[in-house]
Structure 1
């Protein structure tokens, strides 16, 4: 039996965070090692590049759709979500004078662009998940983003009842419930050295 995947990153949120969420959804525990680049050691490989890591985990654990069409839609949703999520993850590392402007931009994009789009998807097909009525990496990325957005604005889902229901449904899955227990989530870092590292990674 293979050991737990080893996640190489710093002790805080960044581009590895979405990998941690996807592994959690798949029911796989990872061991976090603190290095300067995102890398996952699993199945005898040293995987780098966040999207490649996510795609491998999703394909291995049946979180990537049933055919090429579903994969294309999952990729489309995931790419969009990662665009906004990166803004959210980078926000704590901004200077105080940059934060107000950035927060307003993040909330505006969430309320007027991203969340309405996914609310429409859920309303359009009336299913429990975004694609193919089964859990996919797109659902997991959306759940992660919702949690991070609620840290910035607790009422962000007020006008999105289907997203709120999706959050509740996904959060109650046994694998996600375990992952979401207090103490399992990474927090943004305040240490100056780590902030410099994050800025280098995101730039």
Structure 2
């Protein structure tokens, strides 16, 4: 019988956090191997464990899975979080594509200078309020159900909740103009596996800080400063 999935990444959010969310929502326990030194990363490269020389990497079902999107598609399909038919799967892919775009704006925040972080928060708030959240508010209203797609929890719901919570960490009142999303957040947060993930002591990672940034730069030998364009 296969063992628990093993996640290879840094001890922080980054591009692994959405994978953690998805596994947890599915009720799947997992182990983690945290990259802390350049030598660990080079060992994975030497073993040819990283198909494109990148992490995240997930060992699962006898495979070494890379590329975040592919990993999550596999997990969603395996654990019935990917819709009931081709049309529902298409909708899930579209909605996940939107939240992924929003998360890609959020993820590098820790790497900015203090001055740029303040500017970046303004960008996050603007993008969320003007481009992304109005879309999901309308989807929920038009669909008229408890979930974004069909009548059951899907990958799209899980990643939307993750994105909402991450934006709220930067802009606490962001949902004041989005009653549908506010109700969605409260409802999805009460699902038992997700509720447990939101409690202290879970494997959900905190907001990334200086230690995480320093570790990533050391392991990947990325010593440049990230700047806003």
TM-score (norm: length of structure 2): 0.83
Matching of residue 94 in structure 1 with residue 112 in structure 2: yes
SS of 1:7's equivalent in the other structure is strand
Mapped to 2, the partners of 1:193 and 1:152 lie a distance apart of 21
How many angstroms does 1:9 deviate by? 0.2
Aligned length: 201
Mapped to 2, the partners of 1:189 and 1:23 lie a distance apart of 24
SS of 1:33's equivalent in the other structure is strand
Q: For each residue in 1:30-66, what CA deviation from the matched residue of structure 2 results, as whole angstroms up to 9, or x when unmatched?
A: 1111135201111111100000100000000000011
Question: Aligned pair in 2 of structure 1 residues 11, 117: CA closer, same or farther (>3 Å)?
Answer: same
Matching of residue 60 in structure 1 with residue 81 in structure 2: no
Matching of residue 20 in structure 1 with residue 38 in structure 2: no
Matching of residue 143 in structure 1 with residue 161 in structure 2: yes
Higher mean alpha-carbon deviation, 42-51 vs 93-102, is at 93-102
SS of 1:157's equivalent in the other structure is helix
Residue 57 of structure 2: aligned partner: 39
Residue 210 of structure 2: aligned partner: 190
Q: For each residue in 1:108-144, what CA deviation from the matched residue of structure 2 results, as whole angstroms up to 9, or x when unmatched?
A: 0101111110000001121100011211101000000
> Does structure 2 conserve the Cα–Cα contact (< 8 Å) formed by 1:189 and 1:195?
no
SS of 2:177's equivalent in the other structure is coil
Mapped to 2, the partners of 1:199 and 1:60 lie a distance apart of 35
Question: Aligned pair in 2 of structure 1 residues 42, 149: CA closer, same or farther (>3 Å)?
Answer: same
Please list, as runs of the form range in 1=range in 2, the aligned pairs for 1:30-179 lying within 5 A after superposition.
30-35=30-35, 37-179=55-197
Higher mean alpha-carbon deviation, 179-188 vs 126-135, is at 179-188
How many angstroms does 1:162 deviate by? 1.0
SS of 2:142's equivalent in the other structure is helix
Mapped to 1, the partners of 2:77 and 2:9 lie a distance apart of 22
> Does structure 2 conserve the Cα–Cα contact (< 8 Å) formed by 1:14 and 1:198?
no
Unaligned regions of 5+ residues in structure 2, if any? 36-40, 42-54
Larger radius of gyration, structure 1 or 2?
2
> Does structure 1 conserve the Cα–Cα contact (< 8 Å) formed by 2:161 and 2:188?
yes
CA RMSD of superposed structures (Å): 1.7
TM-score (norm: length of structure 1): 0.93
Unaligned regions of 5+ residues in structure 1, if any? none
Higher mean alpha-carbon deviation, 127-136 vs 96-105, is at 96-105
